């Protein structure tokens, strides 16, 4: 399942955590992730691209800004896959 490869990176998980509260601009995401992980803006852009291309995030243009949001579909797919391993076990 490619989803686990995508979510295996702590930077991408952090971006999704930030997006869980709602849409954010690429600049906002970049500022937080760069400060927390010490990575470059091009590296942040690469992580955003991976999330987009694998269906975890959507992007829309609003003037000069690119606004990102979580796409819950792949997360629901992962949840369904994990359900069979949770049999009768509380979370």
pLDDT at 90: 61
Tell me which CATH code domain 2-83 carries.
Answer: 1.10.10.10
What would the pLDDT profile of 27-65 be if each residue is shown by its tens digit?
A: 999 999 999 999 999 999 999 999 999 999 999 999 999
Q: What is the DSSP string of the chain?
A: -HHHHHHTSHHHHHHHHHHTTS-EEHHHHHHHHHHHH---HHHHHHHHHHHHHTTSEEEEEETTEEEEEE--HHHHHHHHHHHTT-TT---
Residue 85 has pLDDT above 90, yes or no: no
Query: Domain spans of the chain?
Result: 2-83
């Amino acid at each position: 399942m490619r989803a686990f490869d995508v979510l295996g990176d702590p930077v991408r998980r952090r971006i999704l955590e930030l997006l869980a509260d709602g849409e954010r601009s690429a600049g906002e995401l970049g500022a937080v992730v760069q400060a927390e992980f010490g990575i470059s803006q091009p590296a942040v852009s690469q992580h955003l691209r991976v999330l987009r291309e694998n269906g975890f995030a959507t992007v829309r243009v609003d003037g000069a800004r690119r606004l990102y949001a979580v796409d819950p579909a792949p997360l629901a797919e992962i949840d369904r896959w994990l359900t069979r391993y949770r049999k009768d076990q509380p979370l």
